[in-house]
Amino acid sequence: MKRQDLIFIIGVAVLLLPFFICRPVYSWYHTFNAEHGMVMSFLKFAILSTLGEMIGLRISAGVYTRKGFGILPRMLVWGVLGMGINAAMIIFSNGTPVFLQYLGMNDAVSLFQAPGISWRKVLVAFAVSVSMNTIFAPVFMTLHKITDTHILMQGGTLRGFFTPLHMGEIMAGLNWRVLWGFVFKKTIPFFWFPAHTITFLLPGNMRVLCAALLGVALGILLAIAARKGEK
């Protein structure tokens, strides 16, 4: 283990441990999360998913950050995307069970909201995950790649981030072969379908936190995708 790894681990521990070992801090988090869900979604994704990208950079380039990486712009993007993910989770976790009832599974809504786990509830959670990741995830992943490219093009600065985003130019330059062949075609069905099935089996107040923690896994997957793009 290198010195930078030790510093990174200690920093993450200092940031997260109080929420696990200090009851007043956890109580504050629980209350604030219940009252200001979108704000907490911004903060969770801004911190955790950016940490995931830093880990991904460590895997692909051997460092946690470098010139032009743009930690602050990435945190801002992840925060906004996190609010979008929270909205998507609310929409699909409510809409999909209703659609299943429309198709004939008459107890889908009550089953999904009931405590405990059964194979039929797992089936509903899987349907929610599949619908969200099929409809929302490709748009989300493409938008993230576009903003990521914009950050790199502007040298990772906040000032550069707020310059006009040349959407058409960036989209034309994306590696769609990797985006489709790996990110969409492999990570969505083989990772995100099962991962979000588990997420939707959790209580509602835990789902966004779980999704944000999965941002660490996303950072690793993005690092793998970047390596594939280089090849």
Q: What's residue 23's pLDDT?
A: 83
168-186 tens-digit pLDDT: 999 999 999 988 998 899 8
Whether the CB-CB separation of 124 and 112 falls below 8 Å is answered with yes
Average pLDDT score, the chain? 89
Q: Between helices 50-61 and 204-230, what is the axis angle to 10°?
A: 30
- Closest by Cα among 228, 200, 190, 201 to 89: 200
116-170 tens-digit pLDDT: 889 999 999 999 999 999 999 999 999 999 999 999 999 999 999 999 999 999 9
Domain ranges of the chain: 36-230
